[in-house]
Amino acid sequence: MPYSLRDRVAHYTSLDAPVGFEEPVLAAAREELAECCERVETDMRGNLYAYQTGTEPNAPRVMITAHADEIGFMVTSIIEGGFLRFTKLGFPTDMVLPGQRVRLHVGGRGIEGVIGVKPAHILSAEEARQVPALTDLYIDIGADSLEQAKSWGIDAGTPVTFVGELIQTDNDHRCFGKCVDNRTGVVALLEIAKRLRDEPCAASVVYVIAVEEEIGLRGAEVATKHVQPDVLFVLDTVPSGGTPDLRADALPWDIGKGALLKVREVKGLSTQRPLRELVRAVADEHDIPNQWIVDTAGITDATSAQQASGDIAAMVIGIARRYAHSAVEMFDLRDVQAQIDLTVLATSSITSLEALKRL
């Protein structure tokens, strides 16, 4: 495996794994987790579990999770001329779709395509200002007929992803590429597992690479019921502010300023107070850059996981990303490192459930 954090993220973003087709990421993560955990297993849903036993038998059980899936598309039909109609997997941003490169995944091979766009030369002024409806969009794979497209193995249900390698900007810390959400979280989880193998903590830790986050936080709910943890850390990304098209108070956090510590999510998670105070104290003690946020932009697996097991302390330790759910998302590698360091130290600080009780 590549050594640098940037190269590791580049490797995992290069794997195409849309919702329901997460196997490439699960297989790569399983190989790494097997080297630093005592036991690795999967469930029928597709979630991947890896176990490390803590040094104290009565210490809490901590679950650390990141989701494997990325946003994408799925073919719904082939029409005359060999063009493909499609639907969305998750919630890609409609306004960026026309003209984007995509890749279809058929029998272990990729078929390149592009989402068609009407020539600018013949657009009316009104059309030029509109976002085409999803039902009007199509994918062009270069086929010259419906029959040829079918002969390539394409059918309804064929998964599709954006195309694009991870790009290093002239800022040594900042990169952009597809599916930064949530391959940075997957890489962070793998690095945390290696650190806690070498520096065992009191708590037993279960690492979960979850599936189907982008369509309703589904895999993590199943996984949490399976693991029954006392404490849960979710590693994910959060839509970022800091760009000219947003008011300063719309999303008042940005890339490059440290890990994101959530107080709450807009339609779900309310972070357990003693846990968030513990994590913030650890960050302050070790000078780990962090941003204390109330997330008004979205939700993560922490929301479904918290409710799946009623007796649980849950928290998101995230990073900010710009251009969420587009074909390219930008992030800062220093934030990922802060996410790793803080999760390792916070997990090592959890030695008793008594310290996490609210009363």
Active site residues: 213
Cβ-contact 220, 234 below 8 angstroms: yes
What are the tokens at 347?
Answer: 């997990």
What are the tokens at 94?
Answer: 């409609």
What are the tokens at 136?
Answer: 């009007």
Cβ-contact 330, 167 below 8 angstroms: no
DSSP 133: P
What are the tokens at 312?
Answer: 């649980």
DSSP 60: P
- 147 backbone dihedrals φ, ψ, rounded to 5°: -65, -40
To the nearest 10°, report the CA torsion of 20, 80, 162, 328.
-130
Buried b (16+ CB within 10 A) or exposed e, 166-205: beeeeeebbbbbbbbbbbbbbbbbbbbbbbbeeeebbbbb
| DSSP letters spanning 88-120 | EES---GGG-TT-EEEEEETTEEEEEEE----G
What are the tokens at 255?
Answer: 């890339």
Q: Provide the residue type at 308 as one letter.
A: A
Per DSSP, the three-state class of 140 is strand
Least Cα distance to 241 among 295, 198, 185 occurs for: 295
CA 137 centroid distance within chain = 26
β 39-42/48-52 pair status:
antiparallel
Buried b (16+ CB within 10 A) or exposed e, 237-275: bbbbbbeeeeeeeebebbbbbbbbbbebbeebbebbeeb
What are the tokens at 239?
Answer: 């839509």
What are the tokens at 158?
Answer: 């064929």
Cβ-contact 226, 43 below 8 angstroms: yes
